[in-house]
């Protein structure tokens, strides 16, 4: 059995179902990121794995052992929190060794583990310093070191990088990923930062209202979101999601978006999606799949250019279309002006189509 296994785990706080029948497995050498908006139940799920919160229902297995009703101290998990607390009056060495002393390790064992961890985290040069003499990134690294030094059953991280500035987060993301991949322990990382989840997770689980909406490899979830919620949550800028009506089903599926008609070819044009003329659907398009056209026509969406936002090498255009706002990212903005009419085409094969109930239609490549 895999390293961490949750079977229909549920947590009720009074009337509130904070976690609702969540089921997933994390393999021994896998990093799973729990991603979702504030209040969706990520931290509560993590705390139930750690034994800091009792599950109302369901089962939790660690290394194949049923831990559902065992207290935190019997689970041998290591958890690092968003607010890392280092002991201010202990040196980095002593902070790192603290959990080992608490577990009664021998002096020789502690020294060996300290040497290892300092090497893994490249912290030899700060071992004798006190926390106030460290940068934020170094403090974070000590907190991670204290978490991994014990070689527990699994690692649990709650927003491990949220206190760091953007540049440091980027560095630490790859640092932590490197360290974790050398340890071969099942790891769950809670984050609301999709970039963090996409870069650090072998798989991500997108949560909403206590439920897992989709679980899969980051690129797969990005390319093939299971529903409108996931489609809108993953990706920056957000995927365009515009309402339309099925206006043709012979051969290709045609979708009318306001005055414009988009014909969907490829996999989406195959029969068997159960669509009828007049069905309400939502069409999803990533802003980076857009290209500009000089005039309106088949497969082109036309609207008014509301805003031109330079983003360095790229430019984000906000287009007012009768069906709603459309975002397009282009590399050449010559000749564009706010208030002007703009025609945009999204690449065939990049469209995603969703039923009125929010679920995606068809599997696309």
What is the distance between the alpha carbons of residues 155 and 80, in angstroms, rounded to a whole number? 8
Candidates 355, 348, 147; CA nearest to 267 is 348
Which span (10-18, 100-108, 174-182, 271-279) binds ligand ATP, by CB under 6 A?
10-18
- Smallest gap from Cβ 38 to ligand ATP, in A, equals 3
Residue 288 found at the interface with ligand ATP (CB under 6 A): no
Residue 87 found at the interface with ligand ATP (CB under 6 A): no
- Under a CB-based contact definition with an 8 Å cutoff, are residues 199 and 178 in contact? no
- Smallest gap from Cβ 194 to ligand ATP, in A, equals 13
Residue 54 found at the interface with ligand ATP (CB under 6 A): no
Question: Which strands make up the sheet holding 77-80, listed edge to edge?
Answer: 77-80, 154-158, 187-191, 31-35, 203-208, 211-216
Q: What are the helix (H) ranges across 5-135?
A: 42-50, 92-102, 107-120
165-194: contacts with ligand ATP (CB under 6 A): 192
Residue 163 found at the interface with ligand ATP (CB under 6 A): no
Q: Which of 18, 79, 86, 361 binds ligand ATP (CB under 6 A)?
A: 18
Residue 219 found at the interface with ligand ATP (CB under 6 A): no
Q: Tell me the CA distances in angstroms from 318 to 327, 342, 365, one per residue in order.
A: 5, 10, 27
Q: Which of 38, 106, 236, 331 binds ligand ATP (CB under 6 A)?
A: 38
Task: Tell the residue number behind the tokens 């000590």, with chain if given.
Answer: 142
Structure token pair of residue 25: 């497995």
Which span (32-40, 134-142, 241-249, 294-302) binds ligand ATP, by CB under 6 A?
32-40
Residue 206 found at the interface with ligand ATP (CB under 6 A): no
Q: Using CB under 6 A, count the residues that bind ligand ATP.
A: 12
Which span (40-48, 66-74, 178-186, 316-324) binds ligand ATP, by CB under 6 A?
40-48
Q: At 349, is the secondary structure helix, strand, or coil?
A: coil
Residue 331 found at the interface with ligand ATP (CB under 6 A): no
Which span (31-39, 140-148, 326-334, 356-364) binds ligand ATP, by CB under 6 A?
31-39
228-287: contacts with ligand ATP (CB under 6 A): none
What is the distance between the alpha carbons of residues 150 and 309, in angstroms, rounded to a whole number? 49
Residue 49 found at the interface with ligand ATP (CB under 6 A): no
- Smallest gap from Cβ 8 to ligand ATP, in A, equals 17
Which span (13-21, 142-150, 232-240, 303-311) binds ligand ATP, by CB under 6 A?
13-21
Residue 42 found at the interface with ligand ATP (CB under 6 A): yes
- Smallest gap from Cβ 84 to ligand ATP, in A, equals 16
Q: Long-range pairs for 11-16 at CB < 8 Å and ≥24 separation?
A: 11/41, 11/44, 11/45, 11/48, 11/53, 11/55, 11/56, 11/210, 12/56, 12/57
Phi, psi angle pair for 30, to nearest 5°? -115, 145
Quote the DSSP letter at residue 269: G
Residue 17 found at the interface with ligand ATP (CB under 6 A): no
Residue 40 found at the interface with ligand ATP (CB under 6 A): yes
Q: Which of 5, 43, 214, 240 binds ligand ATP (CB under 6 A)?
A: 43
Task: Tell the residue number behind the tokens 């007049």, with chain if given.
Answer: 278
Structure token pair of residue 110: 């502690």
Which residue lies nearer to ligand ATP by CB, 209 or 314? 209
Q: Which of 21, 27, 39, 57 binds ligand ATP (CB under 6 A)?
A: 39
Q: Tell me the CA distances in angstroms from 290 to 181, 187, 317, 342, 347, one per residue in order.
A: 36, 37, 10, 12, 7
Residues making contact with ligand ATP (CB under 6 A): 13, 16, 18, 36, 38-44, 192
């Amino acid at each position: 059995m895999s390293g961490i296994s949750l079977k229909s785990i549920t947590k009720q706080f009074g009337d509130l179902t904070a976690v609702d029948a969540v089921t997933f497995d994390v393999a021994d050498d896998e990093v799973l990121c729990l991603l979702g908006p504030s209040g969706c139940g990520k931290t509560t799920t993590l705390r139930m794995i750690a034994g800091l919160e009792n599950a109302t229902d369901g089962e939790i297995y660690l290394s194949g052992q049923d831990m559902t009703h065992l207290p935190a101290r019997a689970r041998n998990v290591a958890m690092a929190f968003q607010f890392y607390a280092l002991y201010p009056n202990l040196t980095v060495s002593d902070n790192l060794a603290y959990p080992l002393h608490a577990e009664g390790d021998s002096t020789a064992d502690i020294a060996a583990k300290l040497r290892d961890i300092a090497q893994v985290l490249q912290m030899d040069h700060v071992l004798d310093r006190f926390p106030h003499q460290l940068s934020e990134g170094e403090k974070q690294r000590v907190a991670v070191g204290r978490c991994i030094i014990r070689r527990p059953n699994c690692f649990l991280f709650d927003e491990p990088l949220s206190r760091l500035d953007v540049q440091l987060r980027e560095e630490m993301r790859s640092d932590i990923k490197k360290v974790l991949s050398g340890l071969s322990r099942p790891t769950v990382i809670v984050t609301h930062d999709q970039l963090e989840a996409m870069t650090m997770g072998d798989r991500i689980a997108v949560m909403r209202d206590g439920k897992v909406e989709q679980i899969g490899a980051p690129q797969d979830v990005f390319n093939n979101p299971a529903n409108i919620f996931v489609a809108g949550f993953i990706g920056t800028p957000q995927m365009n999601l515009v309402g339309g009506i099925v206006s043709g089903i012979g051969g290709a599926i045609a979708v009318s978006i306001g005055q414009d008609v988009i014909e969907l070819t490829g996999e989406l044009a195959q029969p068997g999606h159960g669509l009828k003329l007049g069905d309400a659907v939502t069409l999803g398009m990533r802003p980076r799949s857009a290209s500009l056209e000089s005039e309106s026509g088949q497969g082109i969406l036309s609207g008014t250019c509301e805003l031109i936002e330079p983003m360095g090498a790229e430019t984000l255009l906000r287009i007012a279309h009768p069906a709603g706002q459309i975002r397009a990212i282009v590399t050449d903005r010559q000749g564009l002006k706010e208030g002007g009419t703009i025609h945009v085409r999204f690449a065939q094969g990049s469209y995603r189509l969703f039923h009125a109930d929010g679920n995606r239609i068809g599997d696309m490549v």
